[in-house]
Structure formats: structure tokens, C-alpha cells
Amino acid sequence: MADYNMHILVCGGTGCKASQSELIKSNFKTRLNEFGLSDEIQIIMTGCFGFCEKGPIVKILPDNTFYTQVTPEDVSEIVEEHIIKGRKVERLLYKDPESKEHISDTKGMDFYKKQIRIALRNCGFINPENIDEYIGRDGYAALGTCLSEITPDEVIRMIKDSGLRGRGGGGFPTGLKWELTRKSVSDQKYVVCNADEGDPGAFMDRSILEGDPHSVLEAMAICGYCIGADKGLVYIRAEYPLAIERLKIAIKQAREYGLLGDDILGTGFNFDVEIRYGAGAFVCGEETALIHSMEGKRGEPTVKPPFPAEKGYNGKPTNVNNVETFANIPVIINKGAEWFASIGTANSKGTKVFALAGKINNVGLIEVPMGITLREIIYDIGGGIKDGREFKAVQTGGPSGGCLTKSFLDTPIDYDNLVAAGSMMGSGGMIVLDDSDCMVAIAKFYLEFTLDESCGKCTPCRIGNKRLYEILEKITEGNGNVEDLNRLRMLSSVIKDTSLCGLGQTSPNPVLSTLDHFYDEYLSHVTSHKCIAGQCKALMHYSIDADKCTGCTLCFRNCPVGAISGEKRAPHYIDQSLCIKCGVCFAKCKFDAVLIA
């Protein structure tokens, strides 16, 4: 990068590519050629910057100017004004919602101020398809250090001392998992990277593989060195075409540079990586189900022990870590266990990547130190609730997690605190809900997802969750009673205690957490048959206020089932036996005459 006077970084993550970031890059190339600047300015397609709400993003170096919501048509103005004349295009700069001032540098943006980027350190900064740029950021230095200076046991001790825990869900200590696999005696061992994130709204692992695939490959090689494995497998869902493409490029480049394959760096250590594709089954995020899928079998979990560290892929000792866990490894080796352990809380070290989504102003990918509070994430980084509405809850841990209310806003986020609050860390999905969300419907949504994704192997999950869903459906249809609430709790407890794997054991969490924190909403559904949030259609009653109705006939003309009758310039009437509660009349009425009860 030193040969260029300026660098233009264009976000090449999935979200921005879907918003024409490739055309933006192409337009930059065309315009720079026209001005004869191609030899002086480098255009780099990077990974995700994280600030997805404001994409596509273009960053100019060395002045660190951060342009948001850039379109292909904006390129000419950026080149002519910023590149040629040295004047920033103010309308494309981030506008602070409170001060209303334009901010050109990420250091001045609340979204980035409290973030510490370790796993995401290279995302949005380097070209993920160029191994030289990764090497220029200390890439593969950790692997070289391990192979030439540190014994496998010393590396494992370093990982254990760092306090790194698995970032894929359960939070098992990473160093201990490596140690257990190392102690297993076998003629063949495997390193598996779990890239099968399936939580609704989650895209942490995908973004790391899209923006920094070499960090994962380097960590897998280090793991192979530690446990005595010469084979690595990346299990990735086929719905991630961009991540797969960049991973393939990275593997090819690493082989060409002698960083994968035989006799790596002349040390005699052999290690190579292959890709295995998943069909998008949520249950295959569980390590034994994942392993069965890679073996060509049904993706079903098995009882543990034996654990994969003893008997995994093809019956051989196998170490399974997810993408984010691996992405932390090279930094721990380069900066030391003590440095990593200095970040976070007593039992949850380092940082965590979250996919912040839902009813929040700053949707995106964030990496924050363990111990940060929900309030800081939602209001300082996330910019608060959309449209000025009131915060109601946040769902953490995806379908396996729970909903946390206002009372938890100042709770430090770590593995133990989330479990104590009735939720879990999970892979890092974080969906924010506002006062327009019905918590009974939210519980039903997550349970429906789990029901569809259950492998069906064990009865508690296959049948129990079906019965649980039927009770929730009964309640949201207005046919529930108070006794159904007791059945929900009892059945949830049975499912948690008797299911085979983590999917079934955690599937009732959304139900139990919403019952605990929003019991009044459940009670309203089963006693007065009313949805407080106004989201359950079956419990909504549309009527027309005769005093406000002008007889304009807009509702009459737009009703899809002919449930509305009345003459012009006379009050109209809704036939409740025909009304399908679609809400078209409410949306079309210009006089607030349509009422919802």
C-alpha cells in the first residue's frame, strides 16, 4: 500500500454488494482513469465495515474520511471534489442524530467509540482476496512463531491463560478443548471450523470469512499444530456464496505461499484445509450433528460422551471451534495471553461480536468488550430505538436465548450474567424489540423456527415443541385460557430437562423468559382476549366511528373481502363475520375513523 498516495476502501460485504458496491468500485476505477490517477490511488474492495445501516460505505485514506450510503452516481462528485480539489462531500458524511453535525472520521462516531475490534480487526481494512495485505497486518506471524519458537503444550497453555471461551454458543474454554483433543491418542486427528451460523439475524461468522478468511485459516493451522492434526475442514452453509468464494481464494493463496500443505515454513509440519458444505440446517450448529453431516449422514446429534475430542469425524479425535473463536487465536499469540485477558470480565475474557438488528437505529455488526452493558450497546452504539419508540426487550442468543427487559439494561454482558438472566450468549444475535412488539407472538416466532429446524431424533424436542407451539397458537388466536399458561411452563421444563441436544434443551427459553417478564401480556391474551401490542390479528377488532366517517368510500373500495358496506357521504359499517383483519381499511382511512380494539 506504500506505493500509493491515497486508498479508496469500498465495502464488499454481502449487504453492500447487494446495494451496488461493485458498481461503485467500477465507477471509481473509470473516473480515476479519466483523470490519470490510477497509478496514484488504489481502490480496495474490503470486507464489512460493520455499520450496515449506513451502507454502502466508502472510506478514503490517509485522511480517514468515512462516506455513508454512497450510490454509484455519487462517485463522480467524490472524485472531483474530494480527490481532485481536497474538499469533502459533506452530504455523504455521517450526520450525528443529536448534534446534527457531520462527522468524517470513525473515531468521532458513537457507533465505533466503545468497540474493540479483535476478531473484526481486518474487516473493512484489507482486501480479503489478497494474502499480501493480510501478511502486512501481521498475518501468519503467529503461525510462524508457534512452529519455530513455541511447543504445542505452551501454545495451549497460552490459550488457556487468555481465558478465551467458545464464541459459538456454550462458551466452553477453548484451551481446555484443545488440550483434551491433544491428549487423545490416534493416528489421525481433525480440526473443524464451524461456519454454520443459523440464528435469525446473525451474520458474524459470515462477515469474518468475507472480510478476513486468512485469520481463520491461520488459527486452524495453529490448532492443528497443537493437537497433532494435519487435516482441517470448514463446514459452511451453502447460502454463503461470497464467504465460500473468498475462503477458496484464501486457501489457494495460502497453499501457494507454503502456509498450507506439506512442510509449512520448512518446519516439517503438514496441514491442509478443505471445505464442506451444509444445507442450512440449524441443528448442524451442534458439533456432533455437524460432524455427521460432514460424513454424509443425517445431521442429527448424538449423546455425549464420547465427545468429538475423543471420537469425532470418521471416528477420530476432532476439535470443533466456530469462526469467531478461531479469529481471536492469532492475536492472542501475537499480543500475549495477558493482553487478551485484560479485556472483559473475570470469567468472560476478550470481546464478543454481535449482530445488532431489529427496532434499532444503527443496525450492524459490532465488537465490544465483555462486560459492556445492554444500555451502552443499545443506546450508545446502537443509537437508540427507531422512530423514537420505547424500548421493550432485547432477544439475545437467537432461538436458544431469551428476552431481556429494561431491568437488565445495566447488566454487564458476559456468559454467566446472561444465563442468570434467563438467556444466553449464543453465537451473538441481538434483536431489539420496541413497544409495538407482542411478546407472545415473538415467543411463537422463535419456537416455530426451532420446530422447523428440529432434526426430530428425540421425542421431547420433536413432539414437545410441537405441543408447545400449538398452545401458543391457541393463545394468539384468542382461544387460550389461564390453565394454558401453566401448561406452557410445565411442558417447557420437561423439554429442557429431557431433550438430547442443545437445540431442544434451550428451545423453550424464549417462552419461559417472556412468561417471566411479560406475564401481563399472556394474561391479557387469555382473559380479555386482547393483544396489548395490537399485533395478533385474531384478537384485533376493527370498527368504524360513525361520527368521524365521511363516507369517502376509500375503505369500501379497498377491502379485499367486501366486509365494508355503506353509501357515499354516509357512515360505513364493517361486517365482523367477513372481516379478515388485514388492516387495509385502517391504513387507507384519512379521517381516523377506523378504530382498532
Q: Is residue 119 part of a domain?
A: no
Same domain assignment for residues 75 and 155: no
Q: What global pTM score does this model have?
A: 0.90
Same domain, 287 and 323: yes
Instruction: State how far Cα 251 lies from the chain centre.
Output: 24
Burial class (CB in 10 A: 0-12, 13-18, 19+), 409: middle
Cell of 538: 385474531
Question: Which pLDDT score, from 0 to 100, does residue 423 have?
Answer: 83
In a domain, 550, yes or no: yes
The reply to whether 79 falls in a domain is: yes
Residues 324 and 193 in one domain: yes
- Does the residue 518 lie in any domain? yes
Q: Are residues 163 and 103 in the same domain?
A: no
181 shares a domain with 242:
yes
> H/E element holding 416?
helix 415-420
The gap between the terminal CA atoms of the chain, to the nearest Å, is 63
pLDDT of 368: 96
Say if 122 falls within a structural domain: no
pLDDT for the residue numbered 1: 41
Q: Give the CATH number of the domain where residue 101 resides.
A: 3.40.30.10
Strand partners, 349: 344
Final residue before a domain boundary, out of 340, 373, 406: 340
Does 121 fall in a domain?
Answer: no
Domain stop point among 392, 407, 434:
434
Distance, CA of 203 to chain centre: 4
Residue 316's Cα: distance from chain center in Å?
31
Verify that 428 and 364 share a domain, yes or no. Answer: yes
Is residue 125 in some structural domain? no
What pLDDT shows up at residue 281?
84
> Do 296 and 363 share a domain, yes or no?
no
Q: Are residues 375 and 300 in the same domain?
A: no
Domain that holds residue 522: 439-527
Residue at a domain's end among 497, 527, 557: 527
Q: Which residues contact 429 (CB under 8 A, 6 or more apart)?
A: 199, 200, 201, 202, 354, 355, 357, 395, 396, 397, 398, 401
Q: CA 71, CA 425: separation in Å to the nearest integer?
A: 36
**Is 38 exposed, middle or buried (CB count within 10 Å of its CB: 0-12, 13-18, 19+)?**
middle
In this prediction, residue 438 carries a pLDDT of: 94
Residue 155: CATH number of its domain: 3.40.50.11540
Same domain, 326 and 395: no
CATH of the domain at 488: 1.20.1440.230
Pick from 214, 211, 193, 191: which is nearest to 203 by CA?
211
**Domain tally, the chain:** 5
Torsion of CA 345, 348, 352, 355, to 10 degrees: -100
Same domain, 518 and 572: no
Residue 309 and residue 336 share a domain: yes
The CATH number of residue 412's host domain is: 3.10.20.600
In angstroms, rounded to a whole number, what is the distance separating the alpha carbons of residues 144 and 1?
23
Residue 326 lies in a domain: yes
- Are 166 and 221 within one domain? yes
Sequence-ordered list of residues with C-beta below 8 angstroms from that of 267, at least 6 positions apart, any chain: 147, 148
- Cell numbers linked to 23: 458498481
Give the chain's residues under pLDDT 50. 1-2
CATH number for the domain harbouring residue 587: 3.30.70.20
